Structure 1
Amino acid sequence: MNTRIALATIILSLATATFSYAMPDMKQPADTVSVKAEPITGKAVEVINSGGYTYLLIENSDGFKDWVAIPETIISVGEEVELAAGYSMGDWKSKTLDRTFKNITFSGGPTDKYTERRKTNAHKGVNMSEPAPGNKKSEGKIIEGLKVEKAIGINAYDLTELFAKREELQNKVILVRGQVVKITTGVMNKNWVHIKDGTNNDINKLVITTQESPNNGDIVTFSGVLHNNVDFGGGYQYGVIMEDAVVKK
């Protein structure tokens, strides 16, 4: 039994390397662990977003259904997907969902081929992983890994807190403070600002729509409404976004 648990732990340690950031639930022991060598393909017949991750019930061409977990990604029910090969586990319990999956595969997410196909379909061949039709402001001095002090206020959150509480903060006005690391102006009559605050090993990043026009590298406090799973059409899809934000002095 100890040998089996040790093996599961080793394999799961390798599995987390396929993610851009590790899933906190993944380190718990499971009864069975196996490796899937081929990409996972099929139709997403059920989609659950929880705790920054997306759980997909995938139905393959033979009608077989199985669960797959990936870092949070906007995927619609009925969408044909192709996901990277992963690690399959039996009788695995998700703490965030308080649910035990009879079998689930942990994948790093969409394959490069599938990602490119989605971009092509959504944007007619134009790569718009960021808002491209607008004007990018000139680069300022961006300090990588900068730890930004949290905004002050009862409705203030750092980005780690924001993502953890995203569901309870839905449609609420909140304050966030961070370094501007990217800004694109004039897309759908909005400016699209990306901020980071150095939390979660500098992985966290939030997209904000605003009429304000800060410079790259600026440390800015924004007040705006938090929304989850927003689809603006034309490929503009966000799991978490702050909208109609204003700069607070």
Structure 2
Amino acid sequence: MLKTKILQTLLILAVITACGRNNNSGSSQQAMPTDEKVFVVQEVLQTTKYTYLKVSENQSERWVAVSKLEAMPGDRYYYDKGLPMKDFHSKELNRDFETVDFINNISKTPLGQKAVTNTPIMQAPHGHSGKVVVPKNSDVSIQKSEGELTIAQIFADPQRYANKQVEIKGTVVKVNKSIMGKNWIHLQDGTGHNDKFDLTLTSNQVPPINQVQSFKGTLNLNKDFGAGYFYEVIVEDAEMMINY
């Protein structure tokens, strides 16, 4: 009888121990991130305050930018969200990048286990610009009717049109698609004021390049979208209009 009770007790203890192990194992699995992003550094370019890293991830290579960081080729970093910047020009490096991802937080250990080792950069480096610099197209010359608004008029007196709906016609010289959920359209009409001749519009539509097109949208001043996208003058939520 005593032996039976001892065996029963040992069996109960074994079950409790096994359950405890299973629970601990489950807790460990829950603590481990399931969607960690990680890259390996291939090349490092340093500037005064920022570090550009050529990295490999999922068998592909790309460039990212972070706050100043002592990194070496072969270093492995975990990271969270980033902001992709297309046609990015670094003045300090005097280099153009087709795309650079500006990373907020990175760490050599999973971010869920340790404080990040890099401070956030919600804007592009000082002296850099996320904006695309578009040269003046000397071939653009738009015939406009009397009273039609010109790009020169907008840049000469932007306060006059601030926070108002404007209609503007010009040649689409460049379109940057799907940046921060918008398409960025560069419009020129052959006019300008104080070397300002390229008007930027945001839109959900994608007009053909080199097409003469009219747009209607809201003109806003001093808009800062972050990551170097600052515009003294911009037409937002523009819609294409039918040209008769």
TM over 0.5: no
Give the TM-score normalised by the residue count of structure 2. 0.44
Larger Rg: 2
